[in-house]
């Protein structure tokens, strides 16, 4: 039984929604960021980049306090307004490739603690602590954790019916996406949705492991410091975007390695031959069509690598994951890549970008070799989470990616 509740979101006044909403801070180039801050006074980027107002770089806890101040200014100016009653929020993103639709709601930290909200990635302790401290000072969160659940006909019908009416927000973005948001505020519909989520035994984190872990740490600390703790306080929940499994779009990450770890090309291919059947594809662009098949680009040629299944033993769901196989049989033992997060010799390209980028970066000498694979499936991710195992870093690139500032959860 999972606890997914409506909440009173702080949101842009309708006239400002398209101007306030921003991509994730890290998605902007320096030039794009500067243009947004210079020419759009309503952008949420002004809140998370408060030093721009004073033309000064600010870091640490001083920055956290200034984020809080800029947020309060947006509220004082009525650019951001809080809803008077708890709602669920339907958020739809239409792109040229696909349409996804889900519910923004508050998920329970207790469910996370009890592993009813299942995770499949490791987190880094210092990043958890840093974001926990950030949340504690600023008092709000604007980036929902992406959660997924099995397709549910009752929820689908409720969403479809509500979406027949005019949305609260509807705006287009430069990358040709159409963003729409509806409120579910009728008590009978709220209760129906709540009941459907109550009936779920578990849900899965698709994206946002650090955000959920930091929210748990904040709740734990707040609980310990509150003698009147009831479990209903806002810190006991974190904002989430819940979408059905069929709405998820999962891509792979390709791996680029700076050098062959002292091996010649011939030595490297011989070492690969122990675990893989290798075919030289020449200049033909090759992308795998099956699990346990990999593509490799090396010295101007494409290669296909097929795992020798008579040699390799599958022991659990993780051992069958292609990113794990690549790490265990090539990256770590042959190329000497132990730390997939921090080793400067490895870089990643997510699968939405063309294989041509991989080729270009090897051809220009920036990297020596590149590897690609098929994306993991949702069932693979769920099996790994159910076995309480964790995938290697950068195993999946999952969409949708939501805009910041459209709904804000206050603690």
Same domain, 39 and 104: yes
Same domain, 13 and 130: yes
Q: What is the pTM of this model?
A: 0.93
DSSP string for 125-185: HHHHHHHHHHHHHH-EE-S-EEEEE---HHHHHHHHHHTTSPPSEEEE-TTS-EEEEEEE-
Same domain, 222 and 327: no
Same domain, 335 and 404: no
Residue 380's domain is classified under what CATH number? 3.30.1760
Quickly tell me which residue has 């790490």 as its tokens: 327
Which two structure tokens, joined as six digits, stand for 27? Answer: 């998605």
In tens, the pLDDT along 143-189 reads 999 999 999 999 999 999 999 999 999 999 988 999 999 999 999 99
pLDDT recorded at residue 174? 87
Alpha-carbon span 400 to 227, nearest angstrom: 40
pLDDT recorded at residue 200? 96
Alpha-carbon span 391 to 377, nearest angstrom: 13
Same domain, 21 and 154: yes
Same domain, 231 and 265: no
Same domain, 230 and 351: no
Residue 346 has pLDDT above 80, yes or no: yes
pLDDT band of residue 85 (cuts 50, 70, 90) is: very high
pLDDT recorded at residue 53? 67
pLDDT recorded at residue 284? 87
Alpha-carbon span 84 to 92, nearest angstrom: 23
Same domain, 16 and 164: yes
pLDDT band of residue 136 (cuts 50, 70, 90) is: very high
Contact 121, 209 (CB under 8 A): yes
**Residue 167 domain boundaries:** 4-249+399-410
Quickly tell me which residue has 């980028």 as its tokens: 357
Same domain, 314 and 171: no
Domain total of the chain = 2
SS3 category, 329: helix
């Amino acid at each position: 039984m999972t606890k997914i509740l409506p909440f009173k979101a702080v949101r842009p006044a309708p006239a400002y929604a398209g101007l306030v909403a921003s991509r994730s801070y890290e998605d902007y180039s320096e030039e794009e960021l500067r243009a947004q801050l210079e020419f759009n006074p309503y952008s949420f980027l002004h809140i998370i980049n408060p030093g721009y107002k004073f033309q000064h770089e600010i870091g640490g806890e001083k920055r956290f306090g200034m984020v809080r101040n800029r947020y309060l200014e947006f509220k004082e100016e009525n650019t951001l307004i809080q809803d008077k009653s708890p709602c669920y929020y339907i958020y739809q993103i239409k792109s040229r490739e696909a349409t996804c639709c889900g519910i923004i709601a508050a998920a329970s930290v207790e469910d996370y603690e009890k592993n009813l909200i299942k995770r499949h990635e490791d987190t880094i302790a210092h990043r958890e602590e840093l974001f926990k401290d950030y949340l504690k000072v600023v008092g709000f969160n604007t980036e929902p954790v992406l959660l997924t659940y099995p397709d549910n006909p009752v929820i689908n019908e409720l969403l479809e019916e509500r979406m027949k009416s005019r949305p609260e927000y509807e705006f287009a973005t430069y990358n040709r996406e159409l963003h729409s948001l509806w409120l579910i505020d009728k008590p009978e519909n709220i209760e129906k949705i709540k009941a459907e989520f109550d009936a779920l035994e578990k849900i899965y984190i698709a994206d946002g492991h650090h955000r959920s872990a930091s929210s748990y740490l904040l709740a734990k600390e707040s609980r310990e410091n509150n003698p009147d703790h009831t479990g209903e306080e806002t810190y006991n929940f974190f904002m989430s975007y819940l979408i059905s499994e069929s709405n998820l779009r999962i891509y792979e990450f390709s791996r680029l390695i700076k050098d062959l770890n002292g091996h010649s090309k011939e030595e490297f291919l011989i070492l690969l031959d122990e675990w893989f059947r290798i075919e030289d594809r020449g200049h033909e662009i090759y992308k795998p069509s099956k699990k346990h098949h990999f593509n490799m680009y090396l010295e101007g040629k494409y290669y296909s690598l097929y795992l020798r299944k008579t040699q390799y033993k599958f022991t659990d769901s993780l051992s069958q994951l292609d990113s794990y196989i690549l790490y265990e049989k090539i990256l770590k033992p042959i190329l000497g890549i132990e730390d997939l997060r921090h080793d400067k010799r490895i870089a990643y390209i997510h699968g939405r970008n063309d294989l041509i980028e991989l080729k270009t970066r090897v051809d220009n000498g920036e990297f020596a070799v590149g590897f690609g694979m098929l994306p993991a499936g949702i069932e693979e991710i769920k099996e790994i989470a159910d076995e309480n195992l964790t995938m290697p870093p950068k195993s999946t690139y999952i969409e949708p990616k939501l805009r910041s500032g459209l709904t804000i959860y206050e603690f």
